[in-house]
């Protein structure tokens, strides 16, 4: 059923578009849009004869205005018209959404004839319009002089027929097509941002990105309701229920905006009282909209006032919270205020206007929900990008600092080599599984004599000189460390023929300190599989024993453990 309704609506739009583009244009002398200067009102307790009222304009009050007038039957008379009818391009009476159980139109022609308009509130619904209802007027030849609107059980917040205007079908279609294009662009932008940010959330897992995605979904729902697109999914939905769903969607958008702000700001910068009050306003607003959706007649004026004041409170609370966070030094709050000031101000103005506290109707006011959604979606996306960039920078700085701290913790201050703990950790990390490792233990010969004869500074210079020589002679990437005192170590894969130990001896022997001193080293070598702490101790003990033999064999030489060790 929904698919058939959609196809019929699409075919109707295509037919009107074809007529707009290819049917001979109407004479330019006839205006395509008429905005009446005056709307006169009458409120009655019973259903009076509409044709008798059309014939008696004096029965209407033209001075009191439309706002706030409510009765079982409320009448609005628009007279002083001169609308030349054309069966190929009939006139439509359009006005903004209003709440009433039913709405019927009657017309009086200049020659005195009267007729009932063929449309009612259900047929006046429009798909993807700028918040307007459109009633088709009779297309009988003649000149329409007056139109009478009868609204039953109206819940009057802003008027019986707010923003009333008359348009030809062609002019109305042209305007609606432009609005439809805007809706398409808006839905595409929000949809693309939603997909992108959800993909971003699956990778980064930042709460404020998820809140943005929820807000984007709420925006699409609110736009679908407000534009009339919801009628494609719910063809039997009336305009009163549509308005309630739109208001519910609006409060959900703002509720998710509160969650977004709460996760967007730095935790220690959020002022708790404004944030808590804003959350309460969001809950009150959503609750009042749910009540309105369940029973639109229940204390409707009070429920409407609660809903609109809650919306206003949420918007003001968002700004107040951001200002409070900015005062506490929040960088994110500054970006939020820059990005959201315009859409929030627009939202506050729209809410106050919807309550009837300010008058006037303009294209900007009528289209403000569309503008609000567009600004909110784009600005929030920019804020998300900025916040992600900031968090990435903070993460990179933290990682850099962590690497620097780890380097300091792993490095021997005097020689710049790995310290004992870091060297053993690297040896265990580099375990080669089934292949053997070769541990080379190095000890400076007669290092104690250097300290005793020339002092500890000379000893430090020797340590630094030997460390540099060993590191230069070792293979690239091989762990080289100072295990303590004058003892050093190098870890390499075990090879059948290895000249590295002798190369280390010659390299150290050739090295000279800044004071012109040189020393020699003794080396112990052991092969084995280092897979855990126990195997490390076993291989280290074997290499240390080989080093002992080098020391007692005359120094400045290399000794090997007698056989490879198993893990």
Is the CB of residue 550 less than 8 Å from the CB of residue 559? yes
- 31-53 pLDDT tens trace: 788 999 889 999 999 989 999 99
3-class DSSP assignment, residue 337: helix
* Residue 429, pLDDT above cutoff 80: yes
**CB atoms near residue 31 (< 10 Å):** 14
Q: Mean pLDDT over residues 176-191, rounded? A: 85
Tell me which H or E stretch contains 115: strand 114-116
pLDDT for position 364: 53
pLDDT band, residue 464 (cuts 50/70/90): very high
Is the CB of residue 339 less than 8 Å from the CB of residue 382? yes
3-class DSSP assignment, residue 133: strand
What is the spatial distance between Cα 177 and Cα 203, in angstroms, rounded to a whole number? 39
pLDDT band, residue 237 (cuts 50/70/90): very high
Q: Mean pLDDT over residues 21-26, rounded? A: 42
- 85 or 371: which leads in pLDDT: 85
pLDDT for position 21: 43
* Residue 443, pLDDT above cutoff 80: yes
3-class DSSP assignment, residue 1: coil
Distance of CA 450 to the CA centre of its chain: 68
- 526 or 375: which leads in pLDDT: 526
* Residue 14, pLDDT above cutoff 50: no
Q: Mean pLDDT over residues 279-285, rounded? A: 96
pLDDT band, residue 320 (cuts 50/70/90): very high
Residue 36: C-alpha distances to residues 39, 349, 375, 490 (Å): 7, 25, 33, 95
Is the CB of residue 339 less than 8 Å from the CB of residue 383? yes
- Start-to-end CA distance of the chain, whole Å, equals 75
Backbone angles phi, psi at 338, to 5 degrees: -65, -45
Q: Name, of 159-173, 282-296, 552-566, the range with top average pLDDT.
A: 282-296
3-class DSSP assignment, residue 329: coil
* Residue 271, pLDDT above cutoff 70: yes
pLDDT for position 16: 46
pLDDT for position 160: 85
Is the CA virtual torsion 450, 452, 458, 459 positive or negative? positive
User: 186-220 burial string, b = 16+ CB within 10 Å, else e?
Assistant: bbebbeebbebbbebbeeeebebbbbbbbbbbbbb
| Tokens describing residue 122 | 């259900």
- Residue 383, exposed/middle/buried by CB under 10 A (0-12, 13-18, 19+)? buried
Percent of the chain with pLDDT over 90: 48
What is the spatial distance between Cα 360 and Cα 553, in angstroms, rounded to a whole number? 106
DSSP 72: S
Q: Mean pLDDT over residues 317-327, rounded? A: 95
pLDDT band, residue 310 (cuts 50/70/90): very high
Is the CB of residue 561 less than 8 Å from the CB of residue 525? yes
Backbone angles phi, psi at 426, to 5 degrees: -65, -40
- 125-174 pLDDT tens trace: 888 777 789 999 998 999 999 999 999 988 866 778 888 999 998 988 88
Percent of the chain with pLDDT over 70: 89
Residue in the block written with tokens 């080093």: 547
Cα radius of gyration (the chain): 42
Question: Any idea which of 110-114, 202-206, 264-268, 507-511 has the lowest mean pLDDT?
Answer: 202-206
pLDDT band, residue 18 (cuts 50/70/90): very low
Residue in the block written with tokens 């700028």: 130
**Secondary structure of 8-28 as H, E, C letters:** HHHHHHHHHHHHHHHCCCCCC
* Residue 548, pLDDT above cutoff 90: yes
Tell me which H or E stretch contains 501: helix 500-510
What is the spatial distance between Cα 505 and Cα 446, in angstroms, rounded to a whole number? 15
**Who contacts 28 (Cβ-Cβ below 8 Å, separation ≥6)?**
none
pLDDT band, residue 549 (cuts 50/70/90): very high
Angle (CA) 124-129-131 rounded to 5° is 80
What contacts 24+ positions apart, CB below 8 Å, involve 262-265?
A: 262/211, 263/206, 263/207, 263/208, 263/210, 263/211, 264/208, 264/211, 264/332, 264/336, 264/383, 264/387, 265/321, 265/322, 265/325, 265/330, 265/332, 265/333, 265/336
Q: Is 107 left (phi over 0), alpha (psi -120 to 50) or beta?
A: beta
What is the spatial distance between Cα 457 and Cα 469, in angstroms, rounded to a whole number? 19
Q: Mean pLDDT over residues 433-462, rounded? A: 87
pLDDT band, residue 338 (cuts 50/70/90): confident
pLDDT for position 329: 94
What is the spatial distance between Cα 336 and Cα 324, in angstroms, rounded to a whole number? 12
Tell me which H or E stretch contains 484: strand 480-484
What is the spatial distance between Cα 165 and Cα 135, in angstroms, rounded to a whole number? 11
Beta bridge partners of 99: 155
**Nearest C-alpha neighbor of 349 from the set 366, 374, 324:** 366
- Residue 393, exposed/middle/buried by CB under 10 A (0-12, 13-18, 19+)? exposed
* Residue 25, pLDDT above cutoff 60: no
pLDDT for position 185: 85
pLDDT for position 1: 43
pTM over 0.75, yes/no:
no
Mean pLDDT of the chain: 85
Is the CB of residue 410 less than 8 Å from the CB of residue 422? yes
* Residue 278, pLDDT above cutoff 90: yes
Is the CB of residue 525 less than 8 Å from the CB of residue 438? yes
Is the CB of residue 173 less than 8 Å from the CB of residue 17? yes
pLDDT for position 79: 94
Is the CB of residue 311 less than 8 Å from the CB of residue 347? yes
pLDDT for position 29: 43
């Amino acid at each position: 059923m929904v698919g058939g309704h959609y196809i019929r609506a699409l075919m109707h739009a295509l037919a009107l578009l074809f007529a707009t583009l290819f049917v001979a244009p109407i004479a330019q002398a006839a205006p395509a849009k008429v905005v009446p200067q005056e709307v006169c009102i009458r409120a009655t307790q019973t259903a009076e004869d509409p044709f008798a009222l059309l014939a008696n304009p004096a029965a209407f009050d033209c001075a009191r205005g439309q706002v706030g007038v409510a009765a079982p039957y409320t009448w609005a008379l628009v007279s002083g018209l001169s609308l030349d009818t054309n069966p190929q391009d009939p006139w439509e009476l359009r006005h903004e959404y209003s709440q009433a159980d039913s709405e019927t139109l009657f017309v009086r022609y200049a020659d005195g004839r009267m007729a009932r308009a063929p449309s009612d509130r259900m047929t006046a619904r429009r798909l993807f319009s700028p918040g307007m209802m459109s009633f088709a007027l009779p297309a009988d030849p003649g000149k329409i002089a007056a139109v009478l609107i009868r609204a039953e059980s109206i819940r009057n917040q802003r008027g019986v027929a707010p923003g009333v205007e008359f348009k030809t079908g062609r002019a109305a279609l042209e305007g609606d097509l432009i609005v439809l294009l805007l809706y398409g662009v808006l839905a595409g932008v929000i949809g693309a941002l939603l997909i992108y940010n959800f993909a971003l959330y699956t990778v980064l897992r930042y709460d404020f990105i998820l809140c943005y995605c929820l807000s984007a979904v709420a925006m699409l729902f609110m736009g679908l309701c407000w534009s009339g697109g919801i009628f494609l999914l719910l063809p039997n939905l009336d305009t009163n229920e549509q308005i309630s769903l739109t208001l519910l969607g609006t409060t959900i958008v703002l509720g998710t905006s509160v969650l977004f702000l709460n996760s967007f700001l730095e935790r220690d910068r959020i002022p708790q009282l404004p944030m808590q009050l804003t959350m309460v306003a969001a809950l009150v607003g959503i609750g009042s909209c749910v009540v309105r959706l369940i029973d639109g007649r229940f204390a409707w004026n009070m429920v409407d006032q609660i809903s609109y004041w809650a919306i206003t409170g949420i918007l003001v609370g968002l700004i107040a919270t951001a200002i409070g966070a900015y005062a506490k030094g929040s960088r994110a709050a500054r970006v939020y205020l820059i990005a959201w000031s315009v859409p929030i101000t627009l939202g506050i103005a729209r809410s106050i206007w919807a309550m009837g506290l300010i008058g006037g109707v303009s294209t900007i006011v009528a289209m403000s929900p569309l503008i609000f959604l567009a600004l909110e979606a784009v600005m929030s996306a920019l804020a998300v990008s900025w916040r992600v960039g900031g968090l990435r920078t903070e993460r990179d700085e933290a990682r850099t600092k962590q690497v620097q701290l780890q380097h300091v913790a792993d490095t021997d201050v005097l020689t710049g080599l790995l310290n004992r703990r870091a060297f053993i950790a690297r040896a265990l990390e580099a375990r080669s599984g089934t292949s053997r490792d070769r541990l080379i233990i190095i000890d400076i010969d007669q290092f104690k004599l250097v300290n005793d004869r020339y002092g500890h500074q000379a000893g430090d210079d020797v340590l630094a000189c030997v460390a540099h020589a060993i590191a230069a002679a070792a293979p690239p990437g091989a762990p080289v460390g100072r295990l303590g005192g004058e003892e050093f170590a190098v870890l390499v894969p075990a090879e059948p023929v290895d000249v590295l130990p002798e190369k280390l001896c010659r390299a150290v022997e050739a090295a000279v300190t800044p004071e012109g001193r040189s020393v020699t080293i003794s080396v112990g070598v052991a092969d084995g599989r280092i897979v855990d702490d126990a195997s490390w101790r076993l291989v280290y003990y074997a290499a240390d024993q080989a080093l002992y033999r080098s020391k007692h064999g005359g120094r400045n030489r290399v000794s090997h453990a007698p056989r490879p060790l198993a893990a």
